[in-house]
Structure 1
Amino acid sequence: MAEEVKLYGTWVSPFSRRIELALKLKGVPFEYMEEDLSNKSPELLKYNPVHKKIPVLVHNGKPIAESLVILEYIDETWKNNPILPQDPYQRAMVRFWAKFIDEKILATGWKANFGEGKEREVAIEEFAEQMKFLENELNGKDFFEGETIGFLDIVANLIAFWFPVRQDALGIEAFTQEKFPVLFKWIANITKIDLVNECRPPREKHLAFVKARIEGLQSAPK
């Protein structure tokens, strides 16, 4: 029986793009369903009634939500080209840093970009400190897990491609090669991988989208 794999996502979301990349690295055929988040499909609401968000992976009719959970499911279901380390301690460390990116760095980066006054100053300092922690984890390696792309590289893709676009749209320089040379060397390494480049938004389209969103936020009533 042929497996049915569907991915519900949006073209600009780093979270659905990371699932797309994992599936492609594994060579898993899938059907991609583009969602309009301002008019969510009945299927999305049915498959993810708790959060009503993308991404959702539907495997043979069974839905899995939340990108980090989906990534682990993919690795456990399709054993070829493993993306998580085999060693239990290393797996735990990868999970730790993945949560650090999604729960700490993303939130701090948002405040550094869109906060005001003292809150923004504090957030910029915290952002630099958090990114240095990440650099220390990466230092001396081509990829986070060694010589090949893995789970944490997939998660950190948003730092490589989404952060610079947001920064360009805002006209700020918080994330630069001078400040974070190790991360920028890593970005150069993953940009050499064709599948990685396939699974990120077209830059000009992405930049236009972010600029429009920023204008909407800035013009919204305070």
Structure 2
Amino acid sequence: MKSRTTGSWTPVALSADLPAGTVIPARTPTGPIALWRSRSGGVSAFADRCPHRGMRLSHGFVRGEALSCIYHGWSYAQAGNCVRIPAHPGLTPPEAIRVATRQVEEGDGIIWIAADQSATRPPRLDGLAPLRSLTACAGIAAIEAAAGTDASPGGIVGFANNSQTIRMLVASLEDEQALIHVLVEGDASPPERIAASRAAEALRRMAEHIQRKGIA
């Protein structure tokens, strides 16, 4: 399922929010993801369900270059294959035991997940840097209505806030929700960053109001 704003790619998280050796939950239009970074820095995206008993892998933990389920400790390499079953330490797990993986790309401080394996490269941010992420209980149309402009082909919505132009990278989620990544110029000052963050929060509230009223 493609996003109207970002095409085959969903910008699911900021790179800064996923340090080495951690796993976090992420959302895409096609379902939940366990997003994790190995100790050496590689990023992987798994379907958020352990093949063993269905526990969410985003509740698990990273051990070296593998992600382990918190329930029974089954561990999966970055390719999705099971590499360790603690209850059977001498067993080489069958190749058939694996978790579904998703194509992932990291660039410009954003982690992107592809809707399918045929996706090309994700959009670039052209010198902009991500500041923070927000989830809006509103669809893209409501966000565009609040901003007074449509999203660009790369998924960026810009609007004026006093003398500053605020830019947000937006992508659709399920159930009329959207993910917003606030962007700033790389050399933005601390006051400009604070202003951009507050302006994005205000726009989110306006978009949610528009969504509730069915205006968009």
Length-normalised TM-score, structure 2: 0.28
More strand per residue: 2
